[in-house]
Amino acid sequence: MKTTLLTFVALTAFTGLVVAQTAAPVEERKPAAGPFQPQVIKAGGTILPLYPPDSPLLKKERIHEAEKYNSHAGGKGAIIRTVVNVHNPSLEVHLAKDRTLSGAAVILVPGGGHTILWVGSDGTDYVEPNDKLGISTFILRNRLAGDGYDAARDAVHDAQQAIRLVRSKAAEWELDPNKIGIMGFSAGAELAAPAALLFEEFAKKNNDPNDPLSKFSARPDFVGIIYPGPTPFTQAPETAIPGNVPPSFLACAGTGDKAHAIWAVDYFNAMLKAEVPNLEMHLYGRGGHGVKRNTAPNAMPYAKWYDRYIEWFTDLGFLGKPGEETKAAKDVAAYARKGKK
């Protein structure tokens, strides 16, 4: 999963819920067929488009095209692990069975070097462990540079749109609107990182009163930066950090994934210099780029980064009952007040 250096920008939007079933062969579709409705990756999920079909952000000449699944394996495989050719970006919704446990929700942004989305290893693999903790999981299928889009503009906008879309559904889905975060893997972290920093700019640019989502914040309540590509701090170390910046958790292999480790350190050092609270990073001695979760006692520590993340998540109060103010929120408020003095 290679990553490319980006500049970070943002743009507008809305939506409608579609229930999908199981994977099927790629179909040749004509424009008259209308917008392609993405297929569900993991059983039990539903598909929610990020934008209405007439959104000016979508390419009308391509929105009908079918997504392509498992192109990494020649299109073979009963289980969808990768997706390309995304022209109708969406969220796959997996609501936790017992949302009274915490009401928390996380949007997962798969990696893939902006040319493919590894929706299995960076997406569906975390649905079940999240569900056991009452955490609802949303898997983002964003537009890709490999399909003719600008990753810094279009893909970052998709990530920010996803946050406010989930927040707009919080009451309907019985989620806590103050426990909605984003976690990006590799190239996906290049979307999660600017989402942690540029939400105020996004709100200013997307405040059309006719947009039903304009009243919902795109600020994530927590951020996961996992084996990341370059973040805004890589290009501009002095990138402004908002006073209410959310807490961040980072994980990456060290020397075995040197470039991504350095990019993780770029982000960590900037936040640390600014004394942002509840910042945590794990660099592992053994491992390469990307890792499959493994809870076996003899598994290498890097394969257990998710467990360290859940410890951090729990400590900050995100697994408390819905409606309870988190420690993270209290610390963010205190940090914001400190910055105003």
Quick: pLDDT tens for 284-296: 999 999 999 998 9
Output the average pLDDT for the chain: 91
**Spatial distance between the Cα atoms of 327 and 319, rounded to a whole number of angstroms:** 11
If we measure between CA atoms, which residue out of 260, 195, 198 comes closest to residue 226? 260
Q: Let me know if residue 180 belongs to a domain.
A: yes
What's the token pair of residue 162?
A: 């996803």
The pLDDT assigned to 341 comes to: 60
If we measure between CA atoms, which residue out of 6, 35, 14 comes closest to residue 161? 14
The pLDDT assigned to 33 comes to: 79
Phi, psi at 144, each rounded to 5°: -115, 145
The percent of residues above 70 in pLDDT, for the chain, comes to 91
Tell how strand 46-49 and strand 90-94 pair up: antiparallel
pTM: 0.90
The pLDDT assigned to 178 comes to: 98
Q: Let me know if residue 268 belongs to a domain.
A: yes
Query: Residue 145 belongs to what domain range?
Result: 31-340
What's the token pair of residue 64?
A: 């009908």
Comparing 53-62, 168-177, 262-271, the range with the smallest average pLDDT is 53-62
Kindly state the average pLDDT of the residues 177-199: 98
Helical residues (DSSP H) of 169-231, grouped into ranges? 170-173, 189-197, 199-205
Asked if pLDDT for residue 217 goes beyond 60, the answer is yes
The pLDDT assigned to 11 comes to: 27
The pLDDT assigned to 10 comes to: 31
Indicate the length of the chain as a whole number: 341
Q: What is the CATH number of the domain that holds 182?
A: 3.40.50.1820
Helical residues (DSSP H) of 123-281, grouped into ranges? 127-132, 156-168, 170-173, 189-197, 199-205, 232-235, 258-273
Summarize pLDDT for 12-47 with one digit per residue, the tens: 233 333 333 334 455 677 777 788 999 999 999 999
**Spatial distance between the Cα atoms of 261 and 230, rounded to a whole number of angstroms:** 10
**Spatial distance between the Cα atoms of 105 and 103, rounded to a whole number of angstroms:** 7
Residues 6 or more apart whose Cβ sits within 8 Å of residue 180: 104, 105, 106, 107, 163, 166, 167, 170, 220, 221
- Please report the beta strands in 36-152, taking only residues with DSSP state E, as ranges in sequence order: 46-49, 68-69, 83-84, 90-94, 105-109, 136-141
Q: Let me know if residue 252 belongs to a domain.
A: yes
Asked if pLDDT for residue 103 goes beyond 60, the answer is yes
Kindly state the average pLDDT of the residues 328-340: 93
Residues 6 or more apart whose Cβ sits within 8 Å of residue 202: 10, 157, 160, 218
Kindly state the average pLDDT of the residues 2-19: 35
Asked if pLDDT for residue 8 goes beyond 90, the answer is no
If we measure between CA atoms, which residue out of 164, 157, 161, 163 comes closest to residue 190? 157
Summarize pLDDT for 119-159 with one digit per residue, the tens: 999 999 999 999 999 999 999 999 999 999 999 999 999 99
Q: Let me know if residue 97 belongs to a domain.
A: yes
Q: Let me know if residue 205 belongs to a domain.
A: yes
Kindly state the average pLDDT of the residues 61-76: 87
Kindly state the average pLDDT of the residues 244-269: 98
The pLDDT assigned to 24 comes to: 44
Kindly state the average pLDDT of the residues 196-218: 95
Asked if pLDDT for residue 280 goes beyond 80, the answer is yes
- Is 182 in contact with 223 (CB distance < 8 Å)? yes
The pLDDT assigned to 50 comes to: 97
Q: Let me know if residue 19 belongs to a domain.
A: no
Identify which has the larger pLDDT, 35 or 259: 259
For the chain, the domain total comes to 1
Q: How confident is the model at residue 258 (pLDDT cuts 50, 70, 90)?
A: very high
Q: Let me know if residue 100 belongs to a domain.
A: yes
The pLDDT assigned to 96 comes to: 98
Comparing 11-20, 157-166, 272-281, the range with the smallest average pLDDT is 11-20
The pLDDT assigned to 27 comes to: 60
Q: Let me know if residue 321 belongs to a domain.
A: yes
Tell how strand 248-253 and strand 223-226 pair up: parallel
Comparing 36-50, 75-89, 151-165, the range with the smallest average pLDDT is 75-89
Kindly state the average pLDDT of the residues 95-104: 98
